[in-house]
């Protein structure tokens, strides 16, 4: 599985370390709450809301340089909109990888 990285954030910052840190702080603050809401909606089998949660989370996936994982998130979001949970396990594995990565930053 891909490993999260800060390449995209660093490319956006133009070397501005304060900007990088601010963005990382925002992600570290938002990600756990977005993930929590995702799991709540998923457990309730509310596929429309779960798809909206995936939509929000996939932007964090992209910012953390996870290109293949982003594609999985897009596919999973589309599946949810069709009432299917195909790729859920893969998506949730990505969330776990991101959680572990953010805890180490």
Query: Can you give the pLDDT at residue 1?
Result: 80
Q: Do 9 and 23 form a contact (C-beta atoms < 8 A)?
A: yes
CA dihedral 80, 82, 84, 89 (to 10 degrees): -30
22-41 mean pLDDT: 98
Cα–Cα dist 16/22, whole Å: 10
- The whole-model pTM stands at 0.95
pLDDT tens, residue by residue, 75-102: 999 999 999 999 999 999 999 999 999 9
pLDDT at 90: 98
For 38-69, give one letter per residue: b (16+ CB within 10 A) or e.
Answer: beebbeeeebebbbbbbeebbebbebbbbeeb
Q: What is the pLDDT of residue 77?
A: 98
Q: pLDDT by residue (tens digit) across 40-82?
A: 999 999 999 999 999 999 999 999 999 999 999 999 999 999 9
Determine the pLDDT at residue 71. Answer: 98
């Amino acid at each position: 599985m891909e490993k999260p990285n800060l390449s995209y954030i660093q490319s956006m910052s133009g070397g501005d370390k304060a900007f990088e840190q601010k963005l990382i702080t925002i992600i570290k603050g938002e990600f756990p709450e977005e993930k929590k809401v995702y799991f709540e909606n998923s457990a309730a089998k509310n596929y429309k809301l779960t798809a909206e949660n995936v939509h929000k989370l996939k932007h964090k996936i992209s910012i953390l340089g996870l290109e293949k994982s982003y594609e999985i998130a897009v596919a999973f979001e589309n599946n949810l909109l069709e009432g299917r949970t195909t790729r859920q396990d893969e998506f949730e594995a990505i969330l776990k990888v991101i959680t572990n990565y953010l805890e180490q930053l």
